[in-house]
Amino acid sequence: MIRLRSRHLLTIEELTHDEILEILDTARGMKEVFASREENTRAVKKVPVLQGRTVVILFFEPSTRTRQSFELAAKRLSADVVTLNIAASSREKGETIIDTVRTLEAMASDIIVVRHRSSGVPRLLSKTVRSSIVNAGDGCHAHPTQALLDFFTMREHLGELKGRKVVIVGDILHSRVARSNIHGLQKLGVKVTLVGPPSLVPREFSRLGVEIEYDFDRALAGADVVMMLRIQKERMMGAFFPSIGEYHRFYGLNRQRLALAKPDCLVMHPGPINRGVEIDSDVADGPQSVICEQVTNGVAVRMAILYLLASRL
Ligand code: CP
């Protein structure tokens, strides 16, 4: 087992190629704990490896998948779990985020999982507290655990990822998922193409070593994976395209368009989905979609991350 160099997980950029593979390999074993294909192999979908450890879940932004999967991951490792309801917390009385986190740490937390709408909050906290900080998504900046579960899902279907082509489509500008995927996929030797209207896929992204394409149909040629992204209205300050109908016509994934990619091209989406906007229902629910698998794998990957970070404490 490789020991992670940092006690925090803040970005994919800070993980080495080998650390990424270590997390993905560890997640494979974790998945066996709760999603074994062999019937009755595990009546209790739980292991005692984090017994006596405390994991705090701190989400200042809405979430379904990430928050619940971290909570389940910690519970399946037998940790004590505290999930703070921000709206009912002393944050409402004016307490600063640092004081909130220090208060929780005074109750002997080991790992604090944080999501915040402002980029940089997890890093700020990592400099302030002695617990391990895990970034569960900060602003438009990073969502490393989403990227790791995406790699895990790709590997389950495609095996070795080196040389594969992944097309990421949509609101790249506001997407922390896209940023973390770009950095991580490049470490794994994957060719990344970004697609969307110029207002949401600025040319400057090519500095990251990716291809930029404004014609979705052309980009799909030879694609092994097409990753659709939601339009993040909550992060937009103005109008980035004329209408939803217009966006769907040029950048929505439908069956005809998907047929332009490789026949077994995987359809991915981090969720939540806006059906009929970036993806049609028959594609989201179709045979090439692995969207629900991504959610299942999210629990396994987050178990692996909590386990590997706790091993450093
Ligand atoms: N993919 C993702 O981060 O989803 P949630 O916002 O539901 O956690």
Cα 46 to ligand 1 centroid, rounded to whole Å: 24
Q: Please state, rounded to an integer, the average pLDDT across all residues of the chain.
A: 95
Task: Give the span between the Cα atoms of 188 and 131, in whole angstroms.
Answer: 29
Residue of the CA atom closest to atom 6 of ligand 1: 63
Would the CA dihedral through 301, 71, 288, 185 be positive or negative? negative
Give the position, in ligand 1's atom list, of the atom nearest the Cα of 298: 1
pLDDT of the residue at 42: 74
Residue 41's pLDDT band (cuts 50, 70, 90): low
Which residue do the tokens 């368009």 mark? 257
Cα 224 to ligand 1 centroid, rounded to whole Å: 23
User: 84 Cβ partners below 8 Å, 6+ apart?
Assistant: 56, 57, 58, 100, 104
Domains and CATH numbers, the chain: 17-143+295-310 (3.40.50.1370), 145-290 (3.40.50.1370)
Cα 53 to ligand 1 centroid, rounded to whole Å: 25
Model confidence at 100: pLDDT above 60: yes
Return the closest-CA partner of residue 117 out of 139, 91, 141, 133: 139
Return the closest-CA partner of residue 231 out of 259, 250, 210: 250
Give the position, in ligand 1's atom list, of the atom nearest the Cα of 66: 8
The reply to whether ligand 1 has any atom less than 6 angstroms from the CB of 54 is no
pLDDT of the residue at 122: 98
- State the alpha helices, DSSP H only, in 82-143: 97-105, 121-126
Identify each DSSP E strand in 185-260 by its residue range: 191-195, 211-213, 225-228
The reply to whether ligand 1 has any atom less than 6 angstroms from the CB of 137 is yes
The reply to whether ligand 1 has any atom less than 6 angstroms from the CB of 63 is yes
Which residue do the tokens 């405390």 mark? 54
Return the closest-CA partner of residue 23 out of 50, 1, 6, 39: 1
Residue 240's pLDDT band (cuts 50, 70, 90): confident
pLDDT in tens, 207-228: 999 999 999 999 999 999 999 9
Give the position, in ligand 1's atom list, of the atom nearest the Cα of 62: 6
Q: Beta-carbon neighbour count of residue 76 at 10 Å? A: 22
The reply to whether ligand 1 has any atom less than 6 angstroms from the CB of 144 is no
Residue 224 and residue 165 in contact, taking contact as beta carbons nearer than 8 Å: yes
Return the closest-CA partner of residue 150 out of 201, 225, 206, 213: 225
**Rounded alpha-carbon distances, angstroms, from residue 30 to 136, 171, 302:** 19, 32, 9
Sheet harboring 80-84: ordered strands across?
Answer: 80-84, 54-59, 111-116, 132-138
Q: Which of 58, 59, 63 has most ligand 1 atoms within 8 Å of CB, for mutation?
A: 63
pLDDT in tens, 192-203: 999 999 999 999
Cα 126 to ligand 1 centroid, rounded to whole Å: 22
Cα 272 to ligand 1 centroid, rounded to whole Å: 6
Give the position, in ligand 1's atom list, of the atom nearest the Cα of 137: 3
The reply to whether ligand 1 has any atom less than 6 angstroms from the CB of 122 is no
**Greatest extent of the chain over all pairs of C-alpha atoms, in Å:** 56
- Over residues 77-92, the mean pLDDT reads 94
The reply to whether ligand 1 has any atom less than 6 angstroms from the CB of 193 is no
pLDDT in tens, 161-186: 999 999 999 999 999 999 999 999 99
Return the closest-CA partner of residue 174 out of 137, 200, 147: 200
User: 247 Cβ partners below 8 Å, 6+ apart?
Assistant: 197, 231, 241, 277, 278
Task: Give the span between the Cα atoms of 265 and 166, in whole angstroms.
Answer: 9
Cα 252 to ligand 1 centroid, rounded to whole Å: 20
- Give the pTM: 0.95
Cα 67 to ligand 1 centroid, rounded to whole Å: 8
Cα 66 to ligand 1 centroid, rounded to whole Å: 5
